[in-house]
């Protein structure tokens, strides 16, 4: 044989081998296709599992929106909190998410859902009542729950509930917060105050009694009134199950008295006492509240008010063409503490309508009101009929006071306003975030009224 013929024989052998490999690959491909077809056939058979549906749900302040209608079968909710404060989602007789902070998301596997309507809500105290409830509709057709245009609502019943909600106002409840705390006067003239911190029952609205975190058993805690130059001594007795402190928000104090454990002091542990001592250096519209565990303690009621000295009024000024009387002496001064979370929930001075306090005055009266926001949200406070002259913010007088129909009060802020009662009648005073004042069964939360009598 010549080399040429040898090469030709080898080439033929390689071609044959390649043909065998090709045939094998074709057979393998046919097998794979057969298996794939069998799987598809099995998926299409009547007894197989329906693909899981993913529905997106958004939690906001204070509503539940999103894909609220799904078909029967496996359902997963992709829940995102787009609100400013923590929310969660509980599915009735089913699972729940953890408390979600702003823009946090959690997938909630509901399993195999049968046709029907399932109630969903946020169970953080006060949030469900503020509107965070909706229906998840499973199956064909149906309503999208509590956030449509109300086509299926029983309006006559809802009308009557709204009207009935006004009847009890002002409703009597146990406990009254923000009451003046009288000091003991020590031999050197120091004003000494005693404050006990504890968890105590508190009636937020008729029949709704919660375990509140309180100063001296009330929400807000007692009001402290001092003068510039006063030497102040506050003895704090901690009867909470947790350590605490008191921060004097808006009062100038020595660093060791600022109430920020463990930076400026040791925590006041359960059963211990601590003494705060400082001299009032300048006027202030201030608050006092816990700093340690503040995210729990303050929404649950651990806050109070303190006013130091006298805040100058804009008497004799002309603001936007309106003359303020010279040597103005207000006929009354109102302190209004706003809250929106914890066990206290949406409230004014620790109470929810119809248990909020109404205010009474006569035509011609001048009224000073101090808004304090101890909540987690901004609240636009609207006084019907009487424009509010904003003359101080955080206890600091404004060089240019201004008139406002609505005053936005952010967390931690204090606004001082002046208004004149010009017309008789019952005038509503409320937060203008509508579901902070109304729910399906009527008025609640951050609502009160000014009753103006003829002079």
pLDDT tens digit sequence for 137-189: 888 543 333 444 455 678 899 899 999 999 999 999 999 999 999 999 999 99
Higher pLDDT, 2 or 455: 455
Q: Across-strand partners of 106? A: 79
**pLDDT tops 50 at residue 268:** yes
Numbered ranges of CATH 2.60.40.420 in the chain? 53-150, 184-453
Q: At CA 398, angle to CA 371 and CA 277, rounded to 5?
A: 65
Q: By three-state DSSP, how is residue 3 classified?
A: helix
pLDDT, average across residues 263-271: 98
Query: Which of 59-73, 290-304, 356-370, 398-412 bottoms out in mean pLDDT, i.e. has the lowest?
Result: 59-73
Please give the Cα distance from 120 to 106 (Å, whole number): 15
Query: Once rounded to an integer, what is the mean pLDDT over residues 40-56?
Result: 61
CATH for 184-453 is: 2.60.40.420
Among 216, 237, 221, 222, smallest CA distance to 182 is for 222
pLDDT of 199 above 90? yes
- Residue 66: the pLDDT is 86
Please, are residues 444 and 453 in contact by the beta-carbon 8 Å criterion?
no
What CA–CA distance (Å, rounded) separates 114 from 264?
57
Architecture of domain 53-150: Sandwich (2.60)
């Amino acid at each position: 044989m010549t080399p040429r013929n040898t090469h030709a024989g080898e080439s033929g052998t390689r071609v044959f081998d390649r043909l065998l490999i090709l045939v094998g690959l074709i057979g393998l491909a046919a097998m794979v296709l057969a298996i794939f077809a069998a799987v598809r056939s099995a998926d299409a058979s009547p007894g197989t599992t329906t693909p899981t549906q993913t529905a997106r749900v958004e939690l906001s302040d204070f509503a539940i929106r999103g894909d609220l209608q799904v078909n029967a079968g496996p359902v997963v909710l992709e829940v995102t909190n787009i609100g400013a404060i923590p929310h969660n989602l509980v599915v009735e007789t089913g699972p729940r998410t953890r408390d979600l902070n702003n823009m946090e998301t959690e997938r909630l596997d509901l399993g195999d859902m049968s046709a029907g309507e399932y109630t969903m809500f946020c169970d953080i105290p006060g949030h469900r009542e503020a509107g965070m409830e909706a229906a998840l509709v499973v199956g064909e057709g149906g309503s999208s729950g509590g956030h449509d245009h109300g086509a299926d609502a029983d309006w006559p019943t809802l009308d009557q509930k709204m009207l009935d909600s006004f009847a009890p106002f002002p409703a009597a409840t146990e406990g009254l917060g923000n009451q003046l705390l009288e000091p003991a006067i020590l031999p050197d003239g120091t004003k000494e105050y005693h404050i006990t911190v504890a968890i105590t029952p508190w009636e937020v609205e008729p029949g709704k009694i919660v375990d509140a975190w309180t100063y001296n058993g009330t929400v807000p805690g007692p009001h402290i009134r001092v003068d510039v130059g006063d030497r102040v001594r506050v003895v704090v007795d901690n009867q909470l199950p947790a350590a605490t402190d008191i921060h004097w928000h808006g009062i100038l104090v020595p660093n060791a008295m600022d109430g920020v454990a463990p930076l400026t002091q040791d925590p006041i542990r359960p059963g211990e006492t601590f003494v705060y001592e400082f001299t009032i250096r300048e006027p202030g519209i201030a608050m006092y509240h816990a700093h340690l565990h503040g995210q729990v303690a303050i929404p649950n009621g651990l806050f109070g008010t303190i006013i130091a000295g006298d805040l100058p009024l804009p008497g004799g000024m002309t603001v936007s063409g309106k003359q303020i009387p010279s040597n103005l002496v207000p006929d009354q001064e109102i302190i209004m503490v706003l809250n929106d979370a914890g066990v206290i929930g949406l409230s004014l001075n620790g109470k929810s309508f119809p248990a909020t306090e109404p205010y009474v005055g006569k035509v011609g009266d001048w009224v000073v009101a101090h808004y304090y926001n101890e909540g987690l949200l901004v609240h636009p406070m609207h006084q019907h009929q009487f424009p509010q002259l904003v003359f101080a913010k955080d206890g600091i007088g404004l060089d240019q006071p201004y008139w406002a129909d609505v005053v936005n009060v952010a967390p931690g802020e204090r606004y001082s306003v002046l208004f004149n009662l010009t017309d008789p009648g019952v005038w509503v005073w409320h937060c203008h975030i509508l579901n902070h004042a109304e729910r399906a069964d009527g008025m609640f939360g951050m609502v009160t009224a000014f009753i103006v009598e003829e002079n």
